[in-house]
Amino acid sequence: MVSMIEAAETAGNATVHVLIVERDHFSRFGLKQILSVGYETVVSAVVGTVIEAEQIASRSPVDVVLVGSDVIDMDGTEGIRRLLIRYPRAHVVVLGPEDDPAAVTTAIRGGADGYLPRSTPQAGLIRALHAVKRGEVAMPRSLMPLLFNALRVPARSHIPDEVYEHLSPREHEVFKELTRGRSNGEIAQRLNLKESTVKTHVSNILRKTGFRSRFAFHSYEG
C-alpha cells in the first residue's frame, strides 16, 4: 500500500462501517467473512447491485462503500455517483483487477476515494478502509505506473483519416466511445452489446490502428 495508508487505530471509535456491493455471491460471502473478524470493521449490509444499495433502509451507519468493479461496469461512473448520493457521508472504494486500466480510471473519474486489487490481503484491506475513512486515498504503489500511463497520452486535435481506414462500421462506433473515455461496460450499455463483444472490438481496433493502449484514444476528437 502507498504510504498514506497507515496502521489502523485500535480505539473503539475507529471502527469502520462498511457496505459491501458485490455481484458475485461467493465474493460477497468472502468479503463479509474477512471484514467481520474483530472490531476494526463492521459490515453494515451486503448487496449485489447499486439498486439494492439504494434501497437499503438507514438502520446502521455507512462509512465506506466497498464496491466491485464489475458492479460499476454495469453503470459506469454513474454507479459511483448514485452511491455517493445515497450515502453522502460515505467514501467509495472500488475492488477490482490490478491489470485493467479502464477499471482504475473509471473508479477515479466516478469519484471513488480508493481502488484496491482483489488480491489485497485482509490486513491491507482493513488498513485501506480506515485510511479512506480518515480522508486519505487508498491505492497500492503497484497501480501507480498503470494509472500514469493511462493518463499520459499525446494531445491531438482530431482523428486522422487513416485511423478509420480499416475499421468496420461497428468498430467505428466503439472507437468513438473509446475517444470519450468510456469503459467496456459503458460502451456495451450504450451500443446494446455484450461486454465480451465490446472487448473483442477493442482488441481489433488496437490491432488495426497499431495503438498499444485504449487510452491513446482519449485525447482524440472526431
Q: What are phi and psi of 4, to 5 degrees?
A: -65, -25
pLDDT at 48 over 80: yes
Flag whether 155 is in a domain.
Answer: no
Same domain, 138 and 72: yes
Beta-carbon count within 10 A of 219 CB: 13
Domain with residue 204: its CATH number is: 1.10.10.10
Flag whether 222 is in a domain.
Answer: no
Express as a percent the part of the chain with pLDDT over 90: 36
What residues does 92 pair with on adjacent strands? 65
Instruction: Give the model's pLDDT for residue 71.
Output: 85
Lowest mean pLDDT among 53-62, 77-86, 175-184, 191-200: 175-184
Same domain, 102 and 202: no
Residue 145 — pLDDT band, cuts 50, 70, 90?
Answer: confident
**150 near 109, Cβ under 8 Å?**
no
Instruction: Give the model's pLDDT for residue 177.
Output: 84
Section 205-216 average pLDDT: 71
Domain with residue 39: its CATH number is: 3.40.50.2300
Section 152-167 average pLDDT: 60
Instruction: Give the model's pLDDT for residue 72.
Output: 75
Flag whether 101 is in a domain.
Answer: yes
Q: What is the residue range of 205's domain?
A: 161-217
pLDDT digits (tens, 9 = 90+) for 49-83: 999 999 987 777 999 999 998 887 655 567 888 89
Residues 84 and 138: their CA atoms lie apart, in Å, by 17
pLDDT at 32 over 70: yes
Same domain, 125 and 196: no
Same domain, 50 and 106: yes
Secondary structure (DSSP) of 25-73: HHHHHHHHHHHTSSSSEEEEEEESSHHHHHH--S-S--SEEEEEHHHHH
Same domain, 69 and 130: yes
- Count up the domains in the chain and report the number: 2
Residues 27 and 10: their CA atoms lie apart, in Å, by 27
pTM of the model: 0.64
Same domain, 83 and 114: yes
pLDDT digits (tens, 9 = 90+) for 87-129: 999 999 999 988 777 788 878 878 899 999 999 999 999 999 9
